[in-house]
Structure 1
Amino acid sequence: MQDLALLVQDPAAWVALITLIVMEVVLGIDNLVFISILTNKLPAAQRVPARRIGIGLALVMRLVLLGTIAWIVQLTTPVFELFGHGFSWKDMILIGGGLFLVWKATKEIHHNVDPIDHDEDFIASSATGTLAAAIGQILLLDLVFSVDSIITAVGMTDHLPVMIIAVVVAVTVMLLASNPLANFIEKNPTIVMLALGFLLMIGMTLIADGMGFHVPKGYVYAAMAFSALVEGLNMLARRKRRAEAGKKTLH
């Protein structure tokens, strides 16, 4: 209790907490985009429960991982060397997660471009526990991001309570933002393709990081923000054209 009181009075701990919360929230954007696209394919009655259950279980998983932080840190130790690069368990987790994202994004892009080929598959999967499959995929991807963010957090602070608070706050923000974001993506079909492009880029970034080619996160998120801005302008232009066409029809 005394240690916690001292931590509250430590300005460095507050700086680390705010920085970690911002980092966790920004990293959560990737998860939210994936969750939105995944759950929007479910029947309407299952979408909100799937998001809540998936994000809630993700919080539990992150807290459990924080409890094994000493083991998590050891994941950066090289296990074998290939082409002059030492691969650790963290690298392999990032590569596996990146490949999964690339595969999933490519599959969804194919479905959006040519949905007729996938109608029967989707109907079949809807009848065989798609809700559980969606939650499983949410947890699988969150595991990848959790390991990466926890290892990054360890480099910023050695206070476990600070990490726990940051994770709880960030996941709460994800929970609050999940439904509005998913509804926005569903109402704007062109956003879906943009979001899938983001997932492809994030997947390739994870693979590159795992292979030892570090890509600064700032470049990735700057590209995402610029693309979102351009798409926002396109949406405004389309809305204006529709309004003008409606006025002409009335006259």
Structure 2
Amino acid sequence: MDSLIAAFTDPTAIAALIALVVMEVVLGIDNLVFISILTNKLPEAQRPRARRIGIGLALGMRLVLLSMIAWLVGLTQTVIDLGISGPLDQHGAPTFETALSWRDLILIAGGLFLIWKATKEIHHNVDPAGGDDVLDSKSVVTMSFGSAIVQIILLDMIFSLDSILTAVGMTDNLAVMVIAVIVAVTVMMIAADPLANFIARNPTVVMLALGFLLMIGAVLIADGFGVHVPKGYIYAAMAFSTLVEVLNIFARKAKARKGG
């Protein structure tokens, strides 16, 4: 209770809460883009329910991980060391390393899975007749609800781990972390349907979102090997690309009105 009161009365805790809410919302965008693309492969009547379940699972996993912070910190202990590391940077730390913890292994596996999924989806968008697959645009109605949920769970696990480790690194106030996670997931819940509908209406946005997923997958793998890419650079690039795509959408609509 004391930590909860501090979250709303202590200026330091309030500042940490605001910063953490912003960070958690930004991290949640990655999760939401994947959920939106995947659920758009389901029959239209099932999509809202799948999104709600997926985001609900994301919240549940984050809260479970918060309740297991001591165990979570233990995931950063080295379990495999291949004895390979890069040259030292200006801070005396290796530019990359192969002393891998469970956290690193999970991030690498998640990054590989994300790259595979995005690559398959890009392939079927570029060449829809290239063969049958659960992600094939011709097989929307054959993709099962259960299959979509299982795939969402796998990525929720990866994004939840990244989200909570970020929270632990920013504050040690559990109440602040819980509030920030709940606010961020609430924003995800509100934005889920509009984002998914926007992606479905604009095919070029799908390709842009898939490009984001490829980049996020590569960053997860790099992070697993100790190459820490500043997230500000990643999200600045995503924001710029999104702005260019929005301008393209406006330009196409203006051209269509003139042509009509």
The secondary structure found in structure 2 opposite 1:76 is coil
Q: Which residue of 2 aligns with 1:226?
A: 240
Could you tell me the percent identity over the aligned residues? 67
Cα distance in 1 between the residues matched to 2:32 and 2:79:
32
Note closer, same or farther for the CA distance 1:13–1:134 as it changes in structure 2 (3 Å cut).
Answer: same
Q: Deviations over 1:2-53 (max 9, x none)?
A: 4543443211111111111111100011111111110001000110000001
Note closer, same or farther for the CA distance 1:3–1:221 as it changes in structure 2 (3 Å cut).
Answer: closer
TM-score (norm. length: structure 1): 0.92
Q: Which residue of 2 aligns with 1:110?
A: 123
Q: Which residue of 1 aligns with 2:209?
A: 195
Q: Which residue of 2 aligns with 1:60?
A: 60
Cα distance in 2 between the residues matched to 1:203 and 1:6:
37
Q: Give the residue type in structure 1 aligned to 2:46.
A: Q
2:26 is aligned with 1:26: yes
Match of 2:186 among 163, 172, 184: 172
Cα distance in 2 between the residues matched to 1:96 and 1:65:
19
2:103 is aligned with 1:98: no
Q: Give the residue type in structure 2 aligned to 1:226.
A: F
Q: Which residue of 1 aligns with 2:156?
A: 142
Note closer, same or farther for the CA distance 1:157–1:234 as it changes in structure 2 (3 Å cut).
Answer: same
How much does 1:96 deviate? 0.6
Moved over 4 A (4+): 119-127
Cα distance in 2 between the residues matched to 1:46 and 1:162:
34
Cα distance in 2 between the residues matched to 1:51 and 1:23:
22
The secondary structure found in structure 2 opposite 1:115 is coil
Q: Which residue of 1 aligns with 2:93?
A: none
Q: Please, which moves more after superposition, 74-83 or 31-40?
A: 74-83
The secondary structure found in structure 2 opposite 1:117 is coil
Note closer, same or farther for the CA distance 1:65–1:235 as it changes in structure 2 (3 Å cut).
Answer: same
Greater share of residues in helix: 1
Query: Matched residue pairs, number?
Result: 245
Q: Deviations over 1:144-199 (max 9, x none)?
A: 12112212211211111111111111001000000000000001111001110110
Please say if residues 43 and 140 of structure 2, whose CA atoms lie closer than 8 Å, have aligned partners that are also in contact: no
RMSD between aligned residues: 1.7
How much does 1:219 deviate? 0.8
Q: Give the residue type in structure 2 aligned to 1:172.
A: T
How much does 1:119 deviate? 4.9
Q: Deviations over 1:84-103 (max 9, x none)?
A: 32111111111011001000
Match of 2:173 among 159, 164, 173: 159
Note closer, same or farther for the CA distance 1:226–1:79 as it changes in structure 2 (3 Å cut).
Answer: same
Please say if residues 75 and 102 of structure 2, whose CA atoms lie closer than 8 Å, have aligned partners that are also in contact: yes
How much does 1:116 deviate? 1.9
Note closer, same or farther for the CA distance 1:2–1:200 as it changes in structure 2 (3 Å cut).
Answer: closer
Note closer, same or farther for the CA distance 1:222–1:64 as it changes in structure 2 (3 Å cut).
Answer: same
Q: Which residue of 1 aligns with 2:91?
A: none
Q: Which residue of 1 aligns with 2:253?
A: 239
Unaligned 5+ residue runs, structure 2?
86-96
Q: Which residue of 1 aligns with 2:94?
A: none
Q: Which residue of 2 aligns with 1:249?
A: none
